[in-house]
Structure 1
Amino acid sequence: MVRAHNQATAKLAPDQALSTAQTALVQHILTFCQQHWRQPQTAVFVIHGAAGTGKSVVLSHLLAVLQQARQQPDSPFYQGDNHLLINHPEMVKTYKQIAGQRAGLRKKDVEKPTPFINRYAKLQQRADVVLVDEAHLLLTQSDRYNRFDQTNQLTEILKESHIIILVFDATQMLKFKSYWPQQLLTQVLAPYPTETTRLTQQFRVQAGPAIQHWLTAFGTAGQLLPQPQPDSTFDLRIYTDANQLYAHLRQQNQRYGLSRLVATADFPYTLDGKTYYVETENFKQPWDKNMDPNVAWAERPKTIDEVGSIYTVQGFDLNYVGVILGPSVGYDAQHDCLAIRPERYEDQEAFKQRRDVTDPAVMAEMQRQIILNSINVLITRGRQGLYLYASDPVLRRRLAQL
């Protein structure tokens, strides 16, 4: 049996080998940082890329280099004040684990955006280099729950930083309060010198082009393409029985570790300490409780007995992932595609009203996109395989026909 614990942490470890392209990008960004080091105007470097293209790995290496260089008097980054920000509690845990195990890194170098913004606003000084992972999760409106009173977290981080390195993937936005319309990122960054790159090589999903295309069409556009021929490097299976899916997934967890069951946010869940369940046709398993403050959900062996969500697995690599599509995901027979039903989506926080959006058609499209994004996040978690089940019986039959 391969132990799951610490595999996700190992993936982001600074000593993890980089590809040739990733190595070149790290060096290019370090040159960018040196050119703009403590200049009056904030400079920004944006890394775009789909899930699994190694964006977080690049950031982890950059943080390690910068934090080690701050202790070297002959380095251009000597005594640098650098931070990594991420609006994702599970990823914060992982980065802090890494920092606690590596010389030159400190756990306090990693935090969520709001504490950083509030602290530096009071200090009236700017940090040197701020790396922002999963920047598509940054808030674009005030949020009492996160104690953020301003209107856009990136705008505030720009005020408090000399250099910002951020990674952004528009297909992973999951809530109205962190919704980035197509032109918003461009508008926010317009006043600043900005350089942009895009990572395209897929490092997570070890599948051939046909399966990669099938996953992209399904997760980003809701298209139902014929199921590709079997791929020796990736195990794609569609199930008509959730219990059978779960049994096979547990077998893979025994063999390879880091295999987990996840579901769309279509089943009731409340943060009140009680146990809530994902239930569908003769299947019932508890939602994740995620009570460990230090270890990410995916890395705890006992979570094979739970069902994870987009909020517990976004940004993580699994070996095998089982995905249950809930009632918000049905079948559109007229167009032979997924039918997205926002009224069946149980994550009410995701659709919390925005004061700046009043057009019902725009609102409906935002809701549809968020649910599609959540599907995309879930189906792209597995390195070696995806097991898929639809709770909607009509969609389940159509998927089986593929």
Structure 2
Amino acid sequence: MHNAEESAVVDLFPLAVDEHTRIFTQSTRGEFIEYLRNRFSPKPGRDAADRLLKGSEGPAKPLMLYAADIVKKRDHFVLSPEQRVAYNQVMNAVEDARRAKLRWVVAVTGGPGSGKSAVALQLLSDLGARGITASIATGSQSFTQSLRRFAGGGNGRPQQLFQYFNSFVEDKGPRQIVLLCDEAHRLRTTSRLHFSQKHLETGRPQIEELVNAAYVPVFLLDEHQVVRPDEVGSLAAIRGYADAEGLAFTHVHLSEQFRCGGSDLYDQWVRDLLGLPLNDPARTPGAWPGDERFEVTLAGTPAEMEAILREKMRMGYSARISAGFCWPWSKPVDDRLVPDIRINGWERPWNVKGERKVGNAPAQSFWALAEGGFDQVGCVYTAQGFEFDWAGVIIGPDLVARSGYLRTKRDGNRDPKVSARSVEDPKFNLLVRNTYKVLLTRGLAGVVIYAVDDETREFLAELIK
């Protein structure tokens, strides 16, 4: 609409809800030109095609490390069309909030690698450049602390930029324009605070506290990553609260793979393997069809898994091993981690539990990225939200193959919150499957899988040729 002013067609902006719908006006002519430039090259593509065909694959830069350049405005993400829709929905809602004090709730859903965190980080950077108050909040200590250390380092105000979901219990109304709630599947029923701050707890639903904290609360989530009984983040819950409060609501789903590496085909295969979503007859385990962008390897022993991953690290790739919560988790003895995970002569400790290094082992929040983390095995709580070039996954005795399907076993699980009697069987079943969904989808270039149970290894060997 080359002759239209934005103020005259503001009601049309909410209609741009997918990557095939973009609205440009007289005042966004520059954006329109940039949009076209991003899709058309002034030069023939022969040379670029030759370089692509002759190029070699190398390690991808982890999003957490790339994030520092984004927040400090030294670089920017080239967002996909889908991500640009989500980005624009937030920006349009911000304009409504600033102009008319209208409040919008935005939900962005997508699987691992779809770029939810990339959208959040780019929004944080661009909103800050415009002088618009915004911050990112998460429900994960490891993820938040890593954002503060790696993305916020040197910024001078990382604690204000990167907060927790329970940081807003005292808010009586919007304190900022935008609140980007990443990993929103980890929303809790209510906020729980450190014992020294218990008196501040309100008992209000956490989603209410977050929505009230900003004019435009944005929730970025993957419903297949709910891994604890008290996590209630879902699209239905967010939409339901917005509707009940009479707030405008919009939802954008990211279906494309944004990672440099990663595989939509593999993500689909994992969901079929684990039967997610539950009760979907179309979700049945099938043979790994192969994908030249992603490698799936089955190890015969955990020592073989470790050897494969150490070789990848020698080649310059990042790697970590994580496991289902199926072994005890001991406190350090004489300032040394206890090798609780023992499998046929191979033994390793869990990652550090706490924010203090133990020997050469990094603190819990930095296991995924700091030097020394490979020598411990991570759990879902330290791996969730992070990515590695290569992921090693130990499937414990809480998930076993029987009669052609994977079954969950309560007596094989050692997570006190998940295996508690108060957690009913259907919920336990879902949480264990979601846990392995998270662990199996941390890799950018490939995954190495080892299953403790003999029959499960045989089952997987039939699927992974």
Task: Please give the TM-score of this superposition, normalised by the length of structure 2.
Answer: 0.74
Q: How does 1:357-368 map to 2 (within 5 A)?
A: 363-368=424-429
Give the equivalent residue in structure 2 for 1:131. Answer: 180
Whole-angstrom distance in 2 between the partners of 1:168 and 1:384 = 23
Distance verdict in 2 for CA 1:304–1:105, change over 3 Å? same
Please say if 1:301 is aligned against 2:358. no
How far off its partner does 1:168 sit? 1.5
Alpha-carbon distance in structure 2 between the residues aligned to 1:271 and 1:220:
35
Cα distance in 2 for partners of 1:6, 1:311 equals 22
Question: Retained in 2: the 8 A contact 1:143–1:177?
Answer: no
Q: Among the aligned pairs, what percent are the same residue?
A: 21
Query: Which digits, 9 at most, give the CA deviation of each residue in 1:145-200, with x for residues without a partner?
Result: 68555252111112232210110211001111113477433322222211110011
DSSP-derived class of the 1:266 partner: coil
Instruction: Give the 3-state SS of the residue equivalent to 2:457 in structure 1.
Output: helix
Q: Of the candidates 139, 145, 148, which is equivalent to residue 96 of structure 1?
A: 148
Letter in 2 for 1:136: H
Q: Structure 2: how far apart are the matches of 1:141 and 1:270?
A: 29
CA offset at residue 262 of structure 1? 0.6
Correspondence for 1:174 among 201, 207, 227 = 227
The structure with the larger Rg is: 2
- Partner deviation per Cα, 1:350-378 (whole Å, 9 max, x = no partner): 35677xxxxx8xx2111111111110001
Of 409, 430, 441, 1:341 maps to: 409
Where 2:315 maps in the other structure, the secondary structure is helix
Deviation of 1:217 after TM superposition, in Å, equals: 1.3
Give 1:114 deviation, angstroms.
1.3
Q: How does 1:349-360 map to 2 (within 5 A)?
A: 349-350=417-418
- Residue identity in the other structure for 1:350: V
- Equivalent residue runs for 1:19-38 within 5 Å: 19-21=79-81, 22-37=83-98
- Letter paired with 1:232: E
1:83 is the counterpart of 2:135: yes
In the superposition, relative to structure 1, how do residues 211 and 83 fare at CA in structure 2: closer, same or farther (>3 Å)?
closer
How far apart in 2 are the matches of 1:300 and 1:252?
17
Aligned-pair CA distance for 1:397: 1.7
Deviation at 1:101, TM superposition (A): 4.5
Residues 6-52 of structure 1: per-residue CA shift (max 9 Å, x gap): 83423434224323323453233212211123755532111010111
How many residues of Structure 1 are paired with residues of Structure 2 in the alignment? 379
Summarize the alignment of residues 37-116 of structure 1 with structure 2, pairs less than 5 Å apart: 37=98, 42-70=103-131, 77=132, 80=133, 82-101=134-153, 106-116=158-168
1:208, 1:142 → 2: CA distance?
35
Per-residue CA deviation, residues 70-114 of structure 1 (Å, 9 max, x unaligned), is 1xxxxxx3xx3x221111112112321355357696442211121
Contact 2:152 2:161 in 1 (8 A): no
C-alpha distance in structure 1 between counterparts of 2:308 and 2:192, whole Å: 41
Decide whether the 8 Å contact of 1:6 with 1:299 is kept in 2: no
Distance 1:353 1:111 in 2: 33
Structure 1 segment 111-260 matched on structure 2, within 5 A: 111-118=163-170, 120-121=171-172, 126-141=175-190, 143=192, 148-180=201-233, 183-190=236-243, 191=245, 192-204=247-259, 206=261, 210-221=265-276, 223-229=284-290, 231-260=291-320
Shift of 1:205: 7.7
Gaps of 5+ in 1: 71-76, 355-359
Q: Which residue of 1 aligns with 2:10?
A: none
**Cα pair distance change 1:98/1:280, threshold 3 Å:** closer
Where does residue 73 of structure 1 map in the other structure?
A: none
* Residues 1:150 and 1:352: Cα distance change in structure 2 (over 3 Å): farther
- C-alpha distance in structure 1 between counterparts of 2:178 and 2:446, whole Å: 37
How far apart in 2 are the matches of 1:322 and 1:28? 37
Q: Does the aligned pair in 1 maintain the 2:391–2:446 contact within 8 Å?
A: yes
What is the Cα deviation at residue 321 of structure 1? 0.4
* TM-align CA RMSD: 3.0
Residue 135 and residue 40 in structure 1: after superposition, are their counterparts in 2 closer, same or farther (change >3 A)? same
Q: Which has the higher contact order (CA 8 A, sep 6+)?
A: 1
Q: Do the aligned residues in 1 keep the contact of 2:299 with 2:450 (CA within 8 Å)?
A: yes
Q: Which moved more, 1:184-193 or 1:314-323?
A: 184-193
Equivalents in 2 of 1:309, 1:16: separation in Å? 31
Give, in angstroms, the shift of residue 380 of structure 1. 0.5
